[in-house]
Amino acid sequence: MSNVIKFPKPKRSLRVLVLDADKIKAAIIPKGSTVKATFAWLFLIVRLPVFFVMYWLRLPVIFVCNLVSIPMLIAWLFVLYAFPDKPAMVWGFGIISFVAFLIAWTYDFMLMALSPQDMIRTI
């Protein structure tokens, strides 16, 4: 009996997994309103392409806003000093400069909000 070789026992077959569609749907779709869940999925699908397009257009948008804002700020300071008796010109240059600055700031804020890395929470 010392020269008998013991062969390993055959392995048992693997158990077949039964996929339950209700459990899968419950895991994928959050509980609550179906409309809310649909909008959440749409936002996730649309968010990244919109972010990339806006990020690609950031340089020209910020360039144009700075091209308008900085000279208008200098013109506003000059008009404020040289022509204080013309309030329409003072207000015009000041408002145009500030609106161009706000557009650039809002554009960057929208980019941070759409960012896939949640930049708003880390800044």
Instruction: Give me the number of domains the chain comprises.
Output: 2
47-74 confidence digits (pLDDT tens): 889 999 999 999 999 999 999 999 999 9
> Residue 123 pLDDT > 60, yes or no?
no
Say how many CA atoms lie within 13 Å of 12 toward its Cβ: 3
Does 115 score more than 80 pLDDT?
A: yes
pLDDT at 68: 96
Taking the C-alpha atoms of residue 51 and residue 117, their distance in angstroms, rounded to an integer, is 11
Q: What is the pLDDT of residue 105?
A: 95
* 1 belongs to a structural domain: no
Question: Residues 42, 61: one domain?
Answer: no
Give the max Cα distance, the chain.
119
Do 111 and 85 sit in the same domain of this protein?
yes
Query: Are both 41 and 80 inside the same structural domain?
Result: no
- The three state secondary structure string of 60-110 is HHHHHHHHHHHHHHHHHHHHHHHCCCCHHHHHHHHHHHHHHHHHHHHHHHH
DSSP type of residue 115: -
* Residues with Cβ within 8 Å of residue 115, at least 6 apart in sequence: 51
Q: What is the pLDDT of residue 1?
A: 58
* pTM metric for this prediction: 0.63
Same-domain status, 66 and 31 = no
pLDDT at 121 (0 to 100): 59
Contact (CB, 8 A) for 74 and 97: no
Asked, for residue 52, whether it belongs to a domain, the answer is no
Taking 80 as the threshold, does the pLDDT of residue 7 lie above it? no
**What are 17-50's pLDDT values in tens digits?**
677 777 766 666 666 667 777 887 888 888 889 9
Range of the domain at 109: 57-122
Is 79 within the bounds of a domain?
Answer: yes
Q: What is the dihedral of CA 107, 109, 113, 118, to 10 degrees?
A: 130
